Amino acid sequence: MLTCRELVQTQASDYIDKQLSFRKRAAIMIHLLMCGDCRLFVTQFRQLGRVIMNRPLARVDELTVKRVSERLHFIHTHPE
């Protein structure tokens, strides 16, 4: 069974980009049916991707990328 950590850390991006095999996509879909936290994470991740794609390109320093990544991880691991 796929864990939340596996989905968030290694497979969410490939799932959203449709870069996974049928078997891996099915495992994620089953997990998402049972896990509201991961469903929320994937929804927010998709929305973030849309926002980024619609924004003009800008240089982002490494510290900002790290802070955003840490915040997304915190939100996922500490649901309200």
Here the tokens at position 61 are 């320093």
Q: State the average pLDDT over residues 11-19.
A: 90
Structurally, the chain folds into a number of domains equal to: 1
Question: DSSP string covering 10-28, please?
Answer: IIHHHHHTT-S-HHHHHHH
Domain extent, residue 67, equals: 4-77
Report pLDDT digits (tens) over 39-60: 999 999 999 988 888 877 778 8
pLDDT of residue 24: 93
